[in-house]
């Protein structure tokens, strides 16, 4: 392992810190994580709907501009 820029440090379980969370804080943290996932999902859905509606609106507007409002295919 010659030439590594860092040293590997091995800790046993008696000297390493304990990173466990007690029950109540764990439940609160899980609620926050779930709430964040739900919010991101709704933001994705709303964003996709917005961009879909904007895309369709742009297509309609461009077709009206290029055809000058005339109907080429009957009552469509």
pLDDT tens-digit readout, 29-70: 889 999 999 999 999 999 999 999 999 999 988 888 888 777
pLDDT of residue 69: 72
Tally of domains within the chain: 1
Structural domain includes residue 76: no
46 is in which domain, residue-wise?
A: 33-68
- Residue linked to tokens 């000297």: 15
pLDDT band at 22; cut points 50, 70, 90: confident
The answer to whether the beta carbons of residues 66 and 58 sit under 8 Å apart is no
Q: What is the pTM of this model?
A: 0.53
Structural domain includes residue 14: no
Average pLDDT over residues 19-31: 80
Separation CA 16–CA 18 (nearest Å): 7
Closest Cα partner for 56 from 44, 48, 67? 48
Structural domain includes residue 57: yes
The answer to whether the beta carbons of residues 1 and 8 sit under 8 Å apart is yes
């Amino acid at each position: 392992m010659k030439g590594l820029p860092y040293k590997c440090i091995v800790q046993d379980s008696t000297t390493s810190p304990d990173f466990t969370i007690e029950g109540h804080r764990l439940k609160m943290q899980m609620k926050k994580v779930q709430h964040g996932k739900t919010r991101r999902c709704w933001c994705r859905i709303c964003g996709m709907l917005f961009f879909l509606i904007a895309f369709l609106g742009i297509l309609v507007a461009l077709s009206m501009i290029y055809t000058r409002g005339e109907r080429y295919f009957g009552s469509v």
